[in-house]
């Protein structure tokens, strides 16, 4: 079986696991336990959501590359815009909550979002440079 075609997906999921471990370790020392327990979305749930979305985006970008190499950049922009809309739908309950933990939860959400955006950008650059 040719595992080289799944290299980008492995990159996304390995980075997600490493990111989750690092994030949970840092949040253990920085975020008060009562704040983290009262988050609307747990850190694990957010990592699963964004890892799934990133995996789908990377898979779609790989398919786009096979059909039209010149459209990968545009597809990345379109899929990322769609991901941002989905993320906003998940963010709305957090935005409309006004509790002492809300700023911490917003920072947690955006840190995870930006982390996965960086992973997708890295993998897209690798796809565009044909180093997949």
**22 CB-contact burial (10 Å; exposed 0-12 / middle 13-18 / buried 19+):** exposed
Is 43 in contact with 24 (CB distance < 8 Å)? yes
State the pLDDT at residue 82: 96
**Highest mean pLDDT pick, 17-21, 24-28, 69-73, 101-105:** 17-21
Q: What is the mean pLDDT of the chain?
A: 89
5 or 36: which leads in pLDDT:
36
Higher-pLDDT residue of 5 and 11 is 11
Number of domains the chain contains? 1
Tell me what pLDDT residue 131 has.
Answer: 46
**What is the structure's pLDDT at 30?**
86
Q: Token pair of 57, please?
A: 């985006």
pLDDT of 56 above 90 = yes
Lowest-confidence range among 87-91, 103-107, 116-120? 103-107
Give the residue numbers spanning the domain of 80.
3-128
**Mean predicted confidence (pLDDT) in 72-85:** 94
């Amino acid at each position: 079986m040719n595992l080289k075609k799944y290299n980008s997906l492995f990159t996304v999921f390995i980075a997600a696991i490493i990111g989750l471990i690092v994030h949970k370790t840092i949040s253990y020392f920085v975020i008060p336990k009562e704040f983290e327990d009262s988050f609307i979305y747990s850190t694990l749930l957010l990592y699963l959501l964004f890892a799934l979305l990133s995996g789908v985006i990377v898979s779609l970008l790989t398919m786009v590359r096979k059909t039209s190499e010149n459209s990968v950049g545009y597809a990345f922009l379109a899929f990322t815009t769609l991901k941002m809309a989905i993320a906003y739908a998940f963010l709305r309950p957090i935005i409309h909550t006004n509790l002492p933990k809300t700023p911490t939860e917003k920072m947690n959400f955006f840190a995870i979002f930006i982390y996965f955006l960086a992973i997708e950008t890295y993998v897209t650059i690798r796809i565009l440079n044909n180093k997949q």
